[in-house]
Amino acid sequence: MPRAGLTPAAVTEAGAELADELGFTRLSMGLLAERLGVKTPSLYKHVTNQADLVHRIAVQAANELADTIRDAIQGRAGSDALTAGAQAMRAYVKQHPGRYAAGNAARPTGPDDPLIAALDRVLDSWAAMVRGYGIDPGQKIHVLRLVRTVLHGFATLEAASGFQIDVGVEDSFTWMIDFIDQGLQSLDGAPRSPADSTILHEELPGP
What CATH number did the domain enclosing 174 receive?
1.10.357.10
Angle of CA points 43, 95, 166, to nearest 5°: 140
Does a structural domain hold residue 155?
yes
**pLDDT 10s digits, 119-156:** 999 999 999 999 999 899 999 999 999 999 999 999 99
For the entire predicted model, the pTM comes to 0.85
- The tally of domains found in the chain comes to 1
Does a structural domain hold residue 33?
no
The confidence score (pLDDT) of residue 2 equals 45
Does a structural domain hold residue 85?
yes
Does a structural domain hold residue 7?
no
Torsion 198-202-203-204 (CA) sign: negative
Does a structural domain hold residue 122?
yes
What is the spatial distance between Cα 126 and Cα 114, in angstroms, rounded to a whole number?
A: 19
Domain containing 118 equals: 55-196
Does a structural domain hold residue 47?
no
User: Residue 40 class from Cβ within 10 Å (0-12 exposed, 13-18 middle, 19+ buried)?
Assistant: middle
The model's confidence at residue 70, banded by pLDDT at 50, 70 and 90, is very high
**pLDDT 10s digits, 10-61:** 999 999 999 999 999 999 999 999 999 999 999 999 999 999 999 999 999 9
